[in-house]
Structure 1
Amino acid sequence: MKEYQTITEISGPLVFAEVDEPVGYDEIVEIETEDGRTLRGQVLESSEGIVSIQVFEGTGGIDRNASVRFLGETMKMPVTEDLLGRVLDGSGNPIDGGPEIVPDDRQDIVGKAINPYSREYPEEFIQTGVSAIDGMNTLVRGQKLPIFSGSGLPHNELALQIARQATVPEEDEEGEGSEFAVIFGAMGITAEEANEFMDDFERTGALERSVVFMNLADDPAVERQVTPRLALTTAEYLAFEKDYHVLVILTDMTNYCEALREIGAAREEVPGRRGYPGYMYTDLAQLYERAGRIEGKEGSVTQIPILTMPGDDDTHPIPDLTGYITEGQIMMDRDLNSQGIEPPVNVLPSLSRLMDDGIGEGLTREDHGDVSDQMYAAYAEGEDLRDLVNIVGREALSERDNKFLDFADRFEEEFVQQGYDTNRSIDETLEIGWDLLSDLPKEALNRIDEELIAEHYREDESEAAEVTADD
């Protein structure tokens, strides 16, 4: 291990130093300042004679007299099952006042790419307890399903609700228990948000089955690049070595991408779309593709990344690239939020591309797919009719159209609306769906099998009495 005092430039979060031997990409660096502090960094770029180093704790206090040591290894995460119930900072150090972590292993935070041939197709249901997700955009094990939100929308509340409610239904288990765990990685959040997260985890007891990584807004931006990788490395260890089903919630990916842009600017890179690095797609894919199932392994890694769309623009590079990589999206809606709908999930632009493989007989209920399709179609028709009402008035509509308008209102108020403390089973969610669909004429239910209609459709009591009297 060689030590250098050859710093030539300090630019933002980066330090440039001259070297006389090859240095590996991503190699860990220790920088000792004149006042005795030791800062950690990582080699970002290595060329003949000079390296650029990103410093996790920030470059404050570093001058050209500081010593630079290259440790000859990449950054590793100390992993153990005892991490469950612990709170760590964005660099993986405990901040909960608990004992030091005694690891069973130290694993590279870059992870090991899953061989596509060894991947198992995701098709097993995860119940989040949120009707708009379970009923309409079902999450399955091994999937990556992001939440697209906007500034000021309650995505944190939804994230916490999923973290404490998500479970693998017992009837869906194959053999004996793979346990369920949650990895919560927060990037660039405020101290107030961090306190809210921790209060909720502790109040509900969800912390016992969780590992929390906290990178705050006043922490160095460089640390935000490390936080999701530490979280995913922990998830992979629990899933593929300890047989847990792991749900990874990462918030906010927009802060992560802003850190990428900041570092790219410090390196004087040629910017891509809207100033973001041209390699942002590759960088995000390296994170998102760490979700999945591996053949022969009981555990799984499922991801719910959360991002706030700048200006509510879903064509912005961050949601745009995320949508290309992941298998759908859950869209939060500002209008629904202003109406007091909790959670304000708009099911029309939302999508879970793997839903069809994770529902149905033996997975949820045999009527799940038909009910979801019919509610989607009816709600979409109701939304179109709302626009028409603004032009011609409700009195100009037919009785059938008025029923679809009523359905749209009830769908938002009874199905999507449930609050952040209500945990609905998939059976409860589908029963609410049938209650709503039973207000529509039977002949309008053209996406549901007739046998299912005969079994689940609820005749209005007065209509049923009239039919009986006529008979």
Structure 2
Amino acid sequence: MVKEYLKLDKIQGPLIMLDGVSEVAYGEFVKITVDSREIRSGKVIKIDGDYVVVQVFEGTTGISTENVAVQFTGKPLEIALSPDILGRTFNGVGKPIDGGLSIASTHRENINGRPINPVARQYPRNFIQTGISAIDALMTLIRGQKLPIFSGNGMAHNEIAVQIVNQAKIEGATAENFAIVFGAMGVRHDDANYFRKSFEESGALDHVVMYLNLADDPIVERISTPRTALTAAEYLAFEKNMHVLVVITDMTSYAEALREMSSIRGEVPSRKGYPGYLYSDLSTIYERAGMLENKEGSITLIPILTMPNDDITHPIPDLTGFITEGQIVLSRELNQKQIYPPIAILPSLSRLMKDGIGAGYTREDHVDLTNQLFAAYSHVQDIRSLAQIIGEDDLSEIDQLYLKFGKKFEERFISQGNHENRSITETLDIGWEMLRILPKEELDRIPPEMLDKYWEV
């Protein structure tokens, strides 16, 4: 027999507290009836004996301690899943917000999925072509990888996310077995409309499923959004054998919602006020991406976060960097130069790219070309620092060639249109075009036989 509790002990922010509750589990889904007509939902977030704390997804506005009926369902928060989710838009807890009908499916999954067991993981290999030269050549995205984008307020991370979604291409994947799951947390209405419109215009919307939590939506829903998106990705990848690219923005909004909820619950804060379990909480999201040994499908994750004050040592990017396999860092300096995408080459890396590029994957010269471009561009930064002290006119001839290389590299290789989709061959050819600015003897990271083969136009 289902029990209903008709009186609350306390209301605090988006939380309701009940006393004298029995047989309830942590994370259990809760139905809340307000004034005998409005149905809201929530989940159990704390149990202390017979005292229970529930997060209300729609907020507690209009709720008093006397006008509700609380029913514990005995189940966790689940979403209905089927291939029909592709092309649809949902809120952070899986309810349609595109005017369409709810998903008619008996297949339901708990959004609180488990991270992939390392023993069951398959090592990522094949590369994903994003069409963005700086990423494809220098910090290559590998199928099954977790590669975050570290951005800052006002920079072009939304445009980069849309471009990746529109252009992403996996070797061996077709329109039938490739899908994109897009999750957005705390975004403004104009940003949400921009995402929808961009996907519609590019024709990508048919294989995209979107989970949107807007800035004025409840923060409780914001905490569920990435888990809902990844649950859909797991279904498509491991039940339907699809290759799934998951883009989640903005993880900073998620972490701030987590901090706010932690504060409301009276938990002891850690660094910069974030809860002490921020690392383990983020890992339960990031570690759901990857490939399984006995499954054909894969989940590749690109979380996007805005670094507060552009501080890469802030807890959110700092902990994210520990969990994920590299990072793509956006540069405020390049952004101010009107260079798009403003990717800072030197602090960016992909730890898995070495096993997914080269002969048999991209092109035989990829590894050596990448090493040389990194080395040359690093030397450019040293020369620019020297030029600020002694002036460009007093630089040696070779140093001036490096300055020319650096300028061309930023304007021709890093910079490209936000609808420009470069193949990996085009990208590598442009890389060689940049290296030809320098004398051949300066290219000491490339084997002679490779240099002889690709140096000539």
Shorter-chain TM-score: what band?
Answer: over 0.9
Amino acid at match of 1:48: G
Moved more, 229-238 or 6-15: 6-15
2:87–2:209 contact (8 Å) kept in structure 1:
yes
Q: Aligned ranges for residues 71-470 of structure 1 at < 5 Å?
A: 71-103=73-105, 105-170=107-172, 179-458=177-456
1:139–1:352 contact (8 Å) kept in structure 2:
yes
Aligned counterparts of 1:21 and 1:82: Cα–Cα separation in 2:
38
Aligned counterparts of 1:43 and 1:410: Cα–Cα separation in 2:
56
Find the counterpart in structure 2 of residue 39 from structure 1.
Answer: 40
Q: Note the alpha carbon deviations across 1:168-220, whole angstroms, 9 max, x for none.
A: 134xx6xx987211100000000011111111011111111100111000000
TM superposition shift of 1:111: 1.3
Amino acid at match of 1:32: T
1:394–1:402 contact (8 Å) kept in structure 2:
yes
Find the counterpart in structure 2 of residue 22 from structure 1.
Answer: 23
Unmatched runs of 5 consecutive residues or more in structure 1: 460-471
Secondary structure in 2 aligned to 1:222?
A: helix
Find the counterpart in structure 2 of residue 54 from structure 1.
Answer: 55
Moved more, 26-35 or 212-221: 26-35
Aligned counterparts of 1:425 and 1:20: Cα–Cα separation in 2:
60
1:6–1:19 contact (8 Å) kept in structure 2:
no
2:175–2:207 contact (8 Å) kept in structure 1:
no
Cα distance change of structure 1 residues 368 and 446 upon mapping to structure 2, 3 Å threshold: same
Aligned counterparts of 2:17 and 2:443: Cα–Cα separation in 1:
67
Q: Note the alpha carbon deviations across 1:121-170, whole angstroms, 9 max, x for none.
A: 11110001111100100000110000000001010000000011001134
2:115–2:285 contact (8 Å) kept in structure 1:
no
Q: Note the alpha carbon deviations across 1:401-430, whole angstroms, 9 max, x for none.
A: 111111111110000000211000100000
Cα distance change of structure 1 residues 311 and 269 upon mapping to structure 2, 3 Å threshold: same
Aligned counterparts of 2:114 and 2:58: Cα–Cα separation in 1:
26
Aligned counterparts of 1:3 and 1:100: Cα–Cα separation in 2:
26
Amino acid at match of 1:113: P
TM superposition shift of 1:278: 0.6
Amino acid at match of 1:16: M
Find the counterpart in structure 2 of residue 7 from structure 1.
Answer: 8
Cα distance change of structure 1 residues 242 and 409 upon mapping to structure 2, 3 Å threshold: same
1:435–1:458 contact (8 Å) kept in structure 2:
no
Cα distance change of structure 1 residues 11 and 177 upon mapping to structure 2, 3 Å threshold: closer
Secondary structure in 2 aligned to 1:298?
A: coil
Cα distance change of structure 1 residues 73 and 352 upon mapping to structure 2, 3 Å threshold: same
Secondary structure in 2 aligned to 1:92?
A: coil
1:9–1:15 contact (8 Å) kept in structure 2:
yes
1:178–1:298 contact (8 Å) kept in structure 2:
no
Moved more, 284-293 or 446-455: 446-455
1:16–1:51 contact (8 Å) kept in structure 2:
yes
TM superposition shift of 1:114: 2.1
Aligned counterparts of 2:288 and 2:11: Cα–Cα separation in 1:
33
1:178–1:245 contact (8 Å) kept in structure 2:
no
Unmatched runs of 5 consecutive residues or more in structure 2: none
Following TM superposition, the consecutive aligned residue runs of length 4 or more in structure 1 with deviations greater than 4 angstroms are none
Secondary structure in 2 aligned to 1:249?
A: strand
2:79–2:93 contact (8 Å) kept in structure 1:
no
1:178–1:243 contact (8 Å) kept in structure 2:
no
1:131–1:429 contact (8 Å) kept in structure 2:
yes
TM superposition shift of 1:115: 2.4
TM superposition shift of 1:447: 0.8
Q: Note the alpha carbon deviations across 1:56-85, whole angstroms, 9 max, x for none.
A: 111111111111110000011211111111
Percent identity over the alignment is 53
Secondary structure in 2 aligned to 1:259?
A: helix
Amino acid at match of 2:123: Y
2:78–2:110 contact (8 Å) kept in structure 1:
yes
1:147–1:332 contact (8 Å) kept in structure 2:
yes
Aligned counterparts of 2:195 and 2:117: Cα–Cα separation in 1:
35
Q: Note the alpha carbon deviations across 1:282-333, whole angstroms, 9 max, x for none.
A: 1100000001000121110000000001111111111111111101110001
Q: Note the alpha carbon deviations across 1:436-464, whole angstroms, 9 max, x for none.
A: 111111111111121111111037xxxxx
